[in-house]
Structure 1
Amino acid sequence: MPYRHVLDVPAMGRAVRIARETTELVLIECGVGLQHPSVGPALLILAELVTNAVRHAAAVSPMITVIYAYGPSGFAFAVRDRHPYQPALFGALATAPGSGLAMVVEMTMELGGTAAVQADADGRGKAIWITLPL
């Protein structure tokens, strides 16, 4: 995906609002109207992933990075932190139905998208990537 934008935010409660507002601006820059049916769910998914990073990774990852990519095939974003734990995204559907992570996976699949965890090269962090068709 050719268009890329990176946002670094402190792993604090306000990170969710900043990431959500930035996502709206990025979507507008990409020509995606905020009334597009995938935008609301995408913002909810992003907010859940940033919230998880703040709650579970802040002690070892004082900064969270949100990476955005856009191209003709869709919109992608990743929430990256430096905590080494890598959640089993699809395992959450079976082991923790109703959890925030299970909701992320369910909504992504309902939108025809993909979800993946990508480990950092040094193994000390990860990014959770969501790709959605638009």
Structure 2
Amino acid sequence: MTFTRLAALPHRHVLTLPAVPSAVRTARQTAQQALTEWGISLRHPTVDPALLILGELVTNSVRHAAALSPQLTVVYAAGEDTLALAVHDRHPYQPLLYGAVAGGTGGLATVMELTLGLGGTAVVRTDADGRGKSIWITLPL
């Protein structure tokens, strides 16, 4: 899915949180609330893996980026057949997402295994100033 198509998804919610451990729970709860409001059943087979992916991405920002990025932003978006999640922080490091698949362990390996297993995509988008990034996950519904 192209970034232009992502921008056109009819449902969108943006949440900015302090980069602290409780952000993981808040991000997941907000996702559940948004999905429910958008008419996406929490029992849909994509939802549990999507919440796990979201939790791993927020955890990574809290663990690895908080020193340079005291806040993180989560973007939730959905359309008829697509669910997209993004986690943004202001740390310049850009993980090699697809490198995590090849024998990787930990959070990003889990993110990529779940994303690819669901037929989704993952992209790292660098901020214009090079001092931050967003990791976008797009999953079919």
Fold match by TM threshold 0.5: yes
**Is 1:62–2:64 an aligned residue pair?**
no
Work out whether 1:121 is the aligned partner of 2:128: yes
Q: Which amino acid aligns with 2:126?
A: A
Partners of 1:26 and 1:131 in 2: how far apart? 16
Number of aligned residue pairs: 133
CA distance in 2, matches of 1:102, 1:73: 25
1:35 to 34, 37, 43: 43
2:97 to 86, 89, 101: 89
Cα distance per residue 1:36-91 (max 9 Å; x no partner): 11111000000000000000000000000000111123110100000000000001
User: What one-letter code is carried by the residue in structure 2 that aligns with 1:67?
Assistant: V
Q: TM-score, normalised by structure 1?
A: 0.96
> How high is the sequence identity, in percent, across the aligned residues?
63
Name stretches of at least 5 consecutive residues in structure 1 with no aligned partner: none
Residue ranges of structure 2 left out of the alignment (5+ in a row): 1-8
Give the letter for the 2:140 counterpart.
P
Deviation at 1:98, TM superposition (A): 2.5
Cross-structure match for 2:88: 80
**Alignment RMSD (CA, Å):** 0.9
Q: Could you tell me how far apart the structure 1 residues matched to 2:24 and 2:107 are? A: 14
Select 1:105's aligned residue among 99, 112, 130: 112
SS in 2 for 1:108: helix
TM-score, length-scaled by structure 2: 0.91
Structure 1 SS opposite 2:42: coil
SS at match of 2:129: coil
